[in-house]
Amino acid sequence: MRKDEVGGVDLATSALTVVPAPAPAPAPAVPVPAVSVPAPAAVRDPAPVDLLLHRAAGCQDPVVRAQLLEEAICAGMPAARSIALRYRDRGEAVEDLLQVAYLGLVKAVHGFDAQVGTGFMAYAEPTIAGEVRRWFRDKGWDIRPPRRLQDLRASMIPAIEELTQEHGRAPRAEEVAAHLGVAYQDVSATMVALVNYTADSLDAPVDGVDGPGIGAVIADDVPEVGALEDRLSLEPLLADLPPRDRHILVLRFYRGWTQREIAEDIGVTQMQVSRLLNKALATMREKLLDI
């Protein structure tokens, strides 16, 4: 048998019939889900708080109006919480900040005028933030300095950051005072007051790790300690007095001069010295009570 013969069939001369392959069945149609197109931002409904407050403004029933205001407060609580959390890293409990922010929200809801036309949050945000800042100013200090120093502290913090970037080092007190246009004594006193924001516990270790507490090494109630406290309290008050009044007080109480000697020294009558002393002492007493 030749190589081109298989089973007696001549492959060279026999005809081959090619059977085409069957066509594949068409795939079943898959339904395309409908896609909803969101409405443009310009046609969205107003905020729920604004709607509730507008309804409350036109409501004549006091019971229904009170209910609408309560619902508006509940709807605005997430925004108040967001504002309160901006201040969470300043050493105060988050729960206290939230309570103060919610109080500011209540004030904002009851003080908002829906007829003005502005959105509620444009009015509420500064109201809530202001309430939190006032709480820091009035309640946050363990040892509260005068209000003018608390207000100056808010201006000093960004000024110190700006001067640090400008000079490449921490600014001195006189540089901060010149930058803000305030007295050097006020800046210096504010820097000292910053360490009084949070007082250490008397049970805290002296070295910060172990050992006796701070209370164990504090001196007993001796006259020298009391005199030191009085002097530290009076020094900034003396610095705020006019030069002549300060000079009179130093002569009278530090050097023990009589009013006649003081009158001869500054060239006025003894009666004028008495009036100047009383005025200076009254001014210092008033400032001391404000601390």
User: Tokens at residue 197, please?
Assistant: 């924001």
Residue 258 confidence (pLDDT): 93
pLDDT band at 179, cuts 50/70/90? very high
196 φψ region: left (φ > 0), alpha (ψ -120 to 50), beta (else): alpha
Residue 168 in any domain: the answer is yes
Rounded CA-CA distance 51/8 in Å is 98
Q: Does residue 229 share a domain with residue 194?
A: no
Residue 52, pLDDT above cutoff 80:
yes
Residue 154, pLDDT above cutoff 80:
no
User: Tokens at residue 168, please?
Assistant: 């490449």
Tell me the angle at which helices 62-85 and 94-111 cross, rounded to the nearest 10 degrees: 140
Residue 219 confidence (pLDDT): 63
Q: Does residue 201 share a domain with residue 165?
A: yes
Q: Does residue 121 share a domain with residue 59?
A: yes
Q: What is the mean pLDDT of the chain?
A: 78
Q: Does residue 195 share a domain with residue 183?
A: yes
The Cα-based distances of 21 to 18, 24, 214 in angstroms read 9, 9, 98
Rounded CA-CA distance 215/201 in Å is 8
Helix (H, G, I), strand (E, B) or coil at 75: helix
Number of separate domains in the chain: 3
| Mean pLDDT value across residues 255-270 | 92
Query: 198-246, pLDDT tens digit by residue?
Result: 667 777 777 666 777 777 776 666 666 667 777 888 888 888 899 999 9
Residue 33, pLDDT above cutoff 70:
no
Q: Which of 150, 132, 147 is nearest to 194 (CA)?
A: 150
Residue 1, pLDDT above cutoff 70:
no
Q: Does residue 135 share a domain with residue 56?
A: yes
Examine the fold and report which residue of 154, 187, 214 is the final residue of a domain before the chain moves on: 214
Residue 93 confidence (pLDDT): 82
pLDDT band at 9, cuts 50/70/90? very low
Residue 224 confidence (pLDDT): 67
Q: Which of 131, 161, 137 is nearest to 150 (CA)?
A: 137
Residue 43 confidence (pLDDT): 32
197 in Cβ contact with 140 (< 8 Å): yes
Task: Name 1's Cβ contacts closer than 8 Å, sequence gap at least 6.
Answer: 8
Residue 12 in any domain: the answer is no
Residue 27, pLDDT above cutoff 50:
no
Residue 11 in any domain: the answer is no
Strands, E, within 51-130: which ranges?
none
Q: What does R_g of the chain's alpha carbons equal in angstroms?
A: 40
Residue 8 confidence (pLDDT): 47
Percent of the chain with pLDDT over 70: 74
Q: Does residue 100 share a domain with residue 72?
A: yes
Rounded CA-CA distance 290/170 in Å is 31
- Tokens 């509940």, residue located: 74
Task: Name 227's Cβ contacts closer than 8 Å, sequence gap at least 6.
Answer: none
Q: Does residue 135 share a domain with residue 154?
A: no
**Which pTM value belongs to this model?**
0.44
Residue 143, pLDDT above cutoff 80:
no
Q: Which domain holds residue 244?
A: 223-290
Residue 50 in any domain: the answer is yes
Beta bridge partners of 205: 213
Residue 251 confidence (pLDDT): 93
Residue 18 confidence (pLDDT): 42
Q: Does residue 239 share a domain with residue 191?
A: no
Q: Does residue 152 share a domain with residue 103?
A: no
Residue 291 confidence (pLDDT): 60
Residue 285 in any domain: the answer is yes
- Of these ranges, 116-125, 201-210, 274-283, the one predicted with the greatest mean pLDDT is 274-283
Rounded CA-CA distance 52/59 in Å is 10
User: HEC string of 213-278?
Assistant: EHHHHCCCCCHHHHHHHHHHHHHHHHHHCCHHHHHHHHHHHHCCCCHHHHHHHHCCCHHHHHHHHH
286 in Cβ contact with 241 (< 8 Å): no
Residue 186 in any domain: the answer is yes
For the ranges 99-108, 193-202, 270-279, the lowest mean pLDDT is seen at 193-202
In this predicted model, which residue has the larger pLDDT, 22 or 105? 105
Q: Does residue 115 share a domain with residue 76?
A: yes
Residue 15 in any domain: the answer is no
Examine the fold and report which residue of 192, 214, 236 is the final residue of a domain before the chain moves on: 214
| Mean pLDDT value across residues 8-37 | 43
CATH number at residue 286: 1.10.10.10
Residue 205 in any domain: the answer is yes
